[in-house]
Structure 1
């Protein structure tokens, strides 16, 4: 056993963070999105959700780091102007910044989510007070992960439920906002792509 590599699940949190950055850096599209997103200088921004944990799943299962990743979510938080016009202006600016990437970057102002969430998902969403609060509301705790690059080049990682489930390919429900149907639809799709996942039942 001496000298055997330690699973990231068993590492202290600081070493898990180093491992996370090393793994995510293997996704060259993701690192490019992070670098370009920093230039937009959006308030409270994070690249978040599927593009992060699915990169980890791909690397853990010996797949190309970008395989199966539909898009790259860029969240920010600006409560100063909740109009669609203001958000659309940011989206259009993002199209220029991300032009030429071989992936779609979806930009959303999380201060506006409560204005459209119920119509789309059938349940009301209280107004978020930060990007972090929006990340907290994802249907699975495994999805609750955000990364951004600070002006000094340091990676800021938001992971309210830790990283062990992400590295362990465990999907755990987070029944705080999204309905059960959203969780089950997502996990069914993920199981097809990553059959080694452990998907825990909705409570």
Structure 2
């Protein structure tokens, strides 16, 4: 993965006080293998590349991996705790130790493995703040598609659902420079 893109991602997020405050809230929950992903990262980079300030997010996707407590009830308890800490945000908490069941996959081994099954390569990226207030990230497909404004399906995602998602999200209307691919690319192993 090009070091320049890694540095760019980290710098963009570390320079965004709103994002780092949210990352601190989530970090302080002390959840195992915990990250914020999807639109939280993707939209920020797309906005930056389009000269926009901030496109409103549907939710803040908090993911974690806890085999010992995979219940949905536990995730709802975490969401409620987050709402008390910041009620202005729509929190969505998902323990990736159980999400394979909903998605019809073999069990995931950790959050990085789990997000490799997310819909788009530019969405399959998550960040967190470590105890030294430095941004860390996971990106099973790298950062190139995200920074190159390329939307393509991950090789593990259902293409029919991907196409419906692209249609429903209407991203091209918000970010006109996006290039949207309709099929898998040989760049990634299937």
* 1:87 Cα deviation after fit: 2.5
Query: 1:119-150, CA deviations, whole angstroms, 9 ceiling, x for partnerless residues?
Result: xxxxx222212111111111111111111111
- Mapping of 1:46-85 within 5 angstroms? 46-64=35-53, 66-85=54-73
Determine if the alignment matches structure 1 residue 112 to structure 2 residue 98. Answer: yes
Gaps of 5+ in 1: 1-11, 118-123
1:94–1:107 CA contact under 8 A, matched in 2: no
- Mapping of 1:36-51 within 5 angstroms? 36-51=25-40
Q: How many angstroms apart in 1 are the aligned matches of 2:160 and 2:20?
A: 32
* 1:23 Cα deviation after fit: 2.1
Give the structure-1-normalised TM-score. 0.81
Q: How many angstroms apart in 1 are the aligned matches of 2:173 and 2:160?
A: 17
Q: How many angstroms apart in 2 are the aligned matches of 1:164 and 1:114?
A: 26
After the TM superposition, which parts of structure 1 deviate over 4 Å for at least 4 consecutive aligned residues? none
Say if 1:27 and 1:184 are closer, same or farther in 2 by CA, change over 3 A: farther
Query: 1:89-139, CA deviations, whole angstroms, 9 ceiling, x for partnerless residues?
Result: 222222223x243x322111111113333xxxxxx2222121111111111
2:10–2:136 CA contact under 8 A, matched in 1: no
Q: Tell me which residue corresponds to 1:121.
A: none
Determine if the alignment matches structure 1 residue 182 to structure 2 residue 161. Answer: yes
Q: How many angstroms apart in 2 are the aligned matches of 1:63 and 1:87?
A: 32
1:147–1:155 CA contact under 8 A, matched in 2: yes
SS of structure 1 residue aligned to 2:127? strand
Figure out how many residues of one structure are paired with residues of the other and give that number. 182
Q: How many angstroms apart in 2 are the aligned matches of 1:170 and 1:145?
A: 14
Say which one has the larger Rg: 1
Gaps of 5+ in 2: 185-190
